[in-house]
Amino acid sequence: MYKRLVIKVGTNVLTRADGRLDVTSISGLVDQIAALKQRGVELVLVSSGAVGAGRELLPERPDDGAVAQRQMYSAIGQVRLMELYRQLFAGHRLLCAQVLATKGDFRDDLHYDNMLNCFRALLVDEIVPVVNENDVVAVTELMFTDNDELAGLVARMLKADALVILSSVEGLYDGPPDGADSRLISFVDPADRDSDRVVQARKSSGGRGGMATKLRIARETAAAGIPVLIGNGRRPGILHQLVKGGWPGTVVGGAGNSQRP
């Protein structure tokens, strides 16, 4: 049984096609997280969705893609997102906490130690930390590649038993996820670069950047001794598989998806 997990949920799981927050999807995830907490699992949630939530609150503004506008959306949206999490966790008699970080916080020893101490205190008190990039100050070199990178750093900081990355596809494929010939890659050995080539090759021919980054982060995290489970956050009950064993997506490192947790 996993004792400590970091679960990262991407924007595509948290928002609908029109960019609005998908409350049903978020609520389903919180239910599953609460069930894991019931089993005594220590859990940290890394959640995107602030920028999407901010856009939803300011629908009449044309998105000009400017840095200041992204900062503004995230500043507004983070409040909305956390309010939703607070309500949903409260329904399970759980408290959640907001942790915002930049890349610089992982480089600075004092910031790193302060963050670690806070995580420890929250986990001892059975509170669910909800982590996001501090998009207000994270501009240019302070920015993570994406929240996958942030989640990998948090998993390593906390020496988690596993990192779970949930997006809107089942896992890593050896071709476009919706391609008829594409097969799901169920296990990646972090030392084996073959799957890297497959995913990287597809990137150049058809925009597989998201998965290539995921694989890089997953490989680095797995090489540090933390297996990474990539899966579809919209698959009902996906997090229950962490208890049952037999992960339906891609496992990077560890004993593969035949391993029982």
Task: Read off the tokens for 71.
Answer: 């900062």
Interface pick for ligand GLU out of 49, 129, 171, 249 (rule CB under 6 A) = 49
Q: Is 76 in the site for ligand GLU (CB under 6 A)?
A: no
147 belongs to an annotated ligand binding site:
yes
Q: Is 50 in the site for ligand GLU (CB under 6 A)?
A: yes
* Edge-to-edge strands, sheet with 187-188: 96-101, 128-133, 42-47, 4-9, 162-167, 228-232, 250-252, 187-188
167 belongs to an annotated ligand binding site:
no
CB nearer to ligand GLU: give 14 or 41.
14
Q: Is 48 in the site for ligand GLU (CB under 6 A)?
A: yes
Between CA 17 and CA 11 the distance in angstroms is: 10
C-alpha 221 chain-centroid distance:
13
CB nearer to ligand GLU: give 41 or 46.
46
CB of 135 to ligand GLU, least distance (A): 5
Between CA 131 and CA 127 the distance in angstroms is: 12
CB of 156 to ligand GLU, least distance (A): 17
Task: Read off the tokens for 16.
Answer: 């609908």
Q: Which of residues 130-149 bind ligand GLU (CB under 6 A)?
A: 132-133, 135, 146-147
Q: Which of residues 11-30 bind ligand GLU (CB under 6 A)?
A: 11
Site residues (CB under 6 A) for ligand GLU? 10-11, 48-52, 74, 132-133, 135, 146-147
Binding site as annotated, residues for ATP: 8
